Structure 1
């Protein structure tokens, strides 16, 4: 089953996607409500998907983004080696749930960035008792801002929180079980193209840990909630431009007008256009420390 949140006729709805279109739930019922166990039966005639604006499938309580692909790490870290700490346990950061975009929304370049990038990922959405379903995640990244921030041994922050695409809908876990390989990983084909030219392709099953183990790690010493989103991290083999740069590629960063299209087998396709962002004044640097110890 596929669940979507969408805008139609100036109103936001949630519903079920079929070959006929989107079948709306009763007013006020959200996809997050359904994930948390609220019964909901679609009513009324379907609306063709082409006539709606697809929003992020849900409004999640939190979004954790892991870095679970060894090949991606290898391409990002000079001189191409993987830190031994990566193998010890999954690593993630929290990104901004308030910056989620829909499957076809325009994506503004973050203020001050000249190295804008995409990241091809799959996200698992947690239910009350495990993984409820999956969707595509594009972790848009301002690489120049990210690099500066992480030299302070904290972050990423503004390098990551301007935009994250989720979509096109949420596919329930049972639909993807036929893709599970003998090692317990989902062998879904992942592809990304820029302006119609494919730049990356990988299998989701190349993750270092399956989503079930990522969820177990995320829950160590804390409480997970139904609706929490867990990103796989960027896949290898061209899952982002920065990986290509790290391997010596000369591909240009994203510019206004570029169209990024991502397709994941069994889930669907998202397609976003990069647009100019807001021009803001430069950030004022810190003042020299006064060094005073008393008034």
Structure 2
């Protein structure tokens, strides 16, 4: 089943999604006081029951006629790095040996990104202040549907309620500079993360699961209508269940938490292609560019880059005396 959160005629709603005879997606509104996150927190059965009840009613507006919002407002967003080919491409760009480090192989590494930066499937994306190297990243995210701690991968499967497309917009120049300080990415990943178009419940994607437990979904990235990347989600080195288990180790995951797969290989972002091509080809994203990401079984998001704001100047670090009390 598919669910959307949207604005229509100035009112925020959520609804189940059907496809009509013409192939258009239609929205079946849920009760006005109910958010999709409320239903996620209520559990898988409550979510599916609410969706079935909505689908039994006449369809409302077409998805193309509303403002699609992120399906859920994340409480936390963890972005993993699970595609080895992407890692190799980024190492090539940095002029480093292509073998990913053993530390990467040891566990499904992630960083926390900004939950307040989540934007909808067709929202404009401003260029981050001070950046001239804007990039997209083609990913899929799992959405947590039940609280859990120290989960096994087998247990984690019951804690994943659905999936959505995830675009981790990245200011590569800001990211490169700030990571030289010895921490992970911050402002380089802070401006926008696209989630959408829908939350697709986990049962909908079970037919795509292969014998190793991976979801064999085709991934495609386009810039201005030109395909720049294609991959399969099943090329991940860890399953989403393993990622969720690792995320819950020594802590909790909660309903609405989002776990990004990390960028796919074979053109899942421009920076990987820059490493392969030895130049900034294709060029960094500019205002007016449209990035369209399509994931089999989940849907498509398409965002236009727009001019951002100039940064307010800040001083560099001041040399301070090391006085002691």
Q: How many pairs does the alignment contain?
A: 294
2:271 to 215, 233, 242: 242
Cα pair 1:24 1:44 within 8 Å, conserved: no
Query: Counterpart in 1 of 2:310?
Result: 279
Runs (4+) of structure 1 exceeding 6 A deviation are none
Distance 1:119 1:162 in 2: 13
- Secondary structure of the 2:253 match is coil
Cα pair 1:112 1:282 within 8 Å, conserved: no
1:33 to 35, 38, 50: 38
Cα deviation, residue 280, structure 1: 2.2
User: Counterparts of 1:46-61 in structure 2 under 5 Å?
Assistant: 46-61=60-75
User: Counterparts of 1:99-114 in structure 2 under 5 Å?
Assistant: 99-114=117-132
2:165 to 113, 119, 136: 136
Cα pair 1:72 1:237 within 8 Å, conserved: yes
Distance 1:81 1:28 in 2: 52
Query: Counterpart in 1 of 2:291?
Result: 260
User: After superposition, what is the alpha-carbon deviation per residue over 1:129-178, rounded to whole angstroms, capped at 9, x for unaligned?
Assistant: 41111100000001111111111111211110110000000101111111
- Secondary structure of the 2:42 match is coil
Distance 1:127 1:96 in 2: 20
Query: Counterpart in 2 of 1:199?
Result: 228
2:175 to 146, 150, 164: 146
Distance 2:290 2:314 in 1: 29
Query: Counterpart in 2 of 1:84?
Result: 102
2:112 to 84, 90, 94: 94
Q: TM-score, normalised by structure 1?
A: 0.97
Can you give the 5+ residue segments of structure 2 that lack an aligned partner in the other structure? 21-25, 147-157
User: After superposition, what is the alpha-carbon deviation per residue over 1:68-118, rounded to whole angstroms, capped at 9, x for unaligned?
Assistant: 000111111123221111000010011111111100000000000011100
Distance 2:264 2:30 in 1: 34
Superposition CA RMSD, Å = 1.3
Query: Counterpart in 1 of 2:17?
Result: 17
Cα deviation, residue 281, structure 1: 2.6
Can you give the 5+ residue segments of structure 1 that lack an aligned partner in the other structure? none
